[in-house]
Copies of this chain bind each other. A is one copy, B any other.
C-alpha cells in the first residue's frame, strides 16, 4: 500500500540514523495503512528517480522525505518535475510563508530562500508552518506521491496535521482502535505462556503485539473495523479479561515512558519525594526530572557514590557498611531512611548495586541491585534484583524498576 523513500547521503554513510521512517511506519500502521518498503537513497538525481519509479510501480502511496534544503533544492524538485512532466513555477503564497518564517531570523532573504518558493506546477502545495521548504502532494491516477522535508519536527507536524488525515479520507482504511498495557518484571516468554489461553480466544478483529524493552513489555491490542464504539467495547472486554491474568505487574494503561507514568501518578498523591542513589548514579534523579514540573514534588537526590557520603550525608552506620558492604539490605534501607530524614520528604527511594563491568564477586555478581523504599509512616521496604551484565542496562533497569515499584506499592497500600 505505502512505500517510504528517505533521501540523503548522511543516511548512507551512517552519520544520521533514519528515525523518520520508523516514525512514519508507526503512525501509518496505527492509522490503518500497511508500509511495505522503506528505501534510503543518496542525493543523486538518478538514484531518486529510480527509487521513485519502482516505488510508484508497486505502491498506491509514496511518501518521500529529505533533499529539499535550500542548498541542493533543485535535485528532488527537478526530479519530481521530470517524473510528472511538469515545470517549476513561482508560488506567491509559499514565498509569503518563507518571508514570514525568516522574519527576525535572517537579515535579507537571499536567492536560495527565494528559490524555495519555486514548486512543480502540477502539485498541490501544503504549507510548512515550521520551516521554509513547502510540502508537495501529487495525485496521479488513483495514487499519491508526497514530498516532505527531512527535518523530523517539520515532517511530523505536516504528517500528523495534513498528510495522514488526507490519506485516510482518500483511501478510507477503516477505523483503528488501540489500547496499550504496560507490564513490568515478567520475561516475554513467560508472559506469552501466561496469555496463551486468553490469546487463543481473541476475536478475529483484535491483533496483539508484544513490544519488549529492558525489564518491561508493552502489550498493544489493535482492533480494525468500521464502528469505533463497537471496537472500543470489544477491546475493553479483552482488557477486562486480561487484567486478572497478569495482575499487579500491569503498571499503566497508556503508551508512555515509565517516568511519565510515574510522574502522572505521583503528582496526584500530593506527597514529596527524595532519592539516595549509589549504583543508579544520578540516572534515577534524571528520569524524575526529565518530566517537566518535577519540582512540584521532587526535593532532590543524594548521589552518594563514596562510602563517606553515605555516612556523612545519609547517616548510614559505618560499621554496617564495613560488615555488610555497600550493596546490602542493611545499607540500602538506611540510605532510604536517611534520605527521607535529611530532606523531609514523604517518600524516599535508595539504590545500591553492582552495575559492572567490574566489582562483581561470587556472592554478589555484576547485576545484583538492592532497592529500598521509605514511606511516610517511617516504614521501609526493600528488594534485591539480578539484572544482568551490561552496565548501561543495569542503571536503566534499576531506575525504572525503582519508580514503578514505588507506584505499585502506594497503589496497593503497602507503603
Contact = CB atoms under 8 A, between A and B. Distances in A.
Interface of A: 11-19, 21-27, 29, 34-42, 47, 51, 54, 209, 211, 275, 277, 281-286, 288-290, 292-295, 298-306, 308-309, 312-313, 342-344, 355-358, 391-392, 395
A295 B305 contact: yes
A26 B17 CA distance: 10
Contacts of A13: 25-26, 29, 35
B36 A47 contact: yes
A358 B24 contact: no
Nearest to A302: B302
B36 A39 contact: no
A40 B35 CA distance: 10
Contact of A38 (B39, B299, B306, B355): B39
Nearest 8 pairs of A and B residues by beta carbon: A282-B285, A14-B26, A281-B289, A14-B25, A282-B282, A301-B303, A38-B40, A282-B286
Given A295-B305, A302-B300, A308-B344, A209 B286 contact: no
Nearest to A272: B306
A22 to B, nearest CB: 4
Contacts of A290: 281, 391-392, 395
A18 B304 CA distance: 38
Contacts of A36: 12, 41-42, 47
A292 B358 contact: yes
Given A14-B26, A292-B356, A304 B300 contact: yes
Contacts of A286: 281-283, 286, 395
A15 B211 contact: yes
B289 A300 contact: no
Counted per complex, copies of this chain come to 2
A313 B299 CA distance: 12
Nearest to A212: B15
A37 B40 contact: yes
Nearest to A291: B391
A282 B289 contact: yes
A186 to B, nearest CB: 19
Contacts of A309: 299-300, 343
A256 to B, nearest CB: 15
A356 to B, nearest CB: 7
Given A303-B303, A342-B313, A356-B292, A40 B14 contact: no
Nearest to A24: B14
B37 A41 contact: yes
A209 B283 contact: no
A21 B40 contact: yes
B18 A14 contact: no
A39 B39 contact: yes
Contacts of A37: 12, 39-42, 47, 51
20 contacts: A11-B38, A12-B29, A14-B23, A14-B25, A14-B26, A17-B22, A37-B40, A275-B303, A277-B282, A277-B285, A281-B289, A282-B285, A282-B288, A283-B286, A292-B355, A298-B306, A300-B304, A300-B313, A301-B301, A302-B302
A302 B299 contact: no
Contacts of A16: 22
Contacts of A289: 281-283, 303, 305, 355, 395
Contacts of A15: 26, 209, 211
Contacts of A293: 358
Contacts of A391: 290, 292
Contacts of A299: 305-306, 308-309
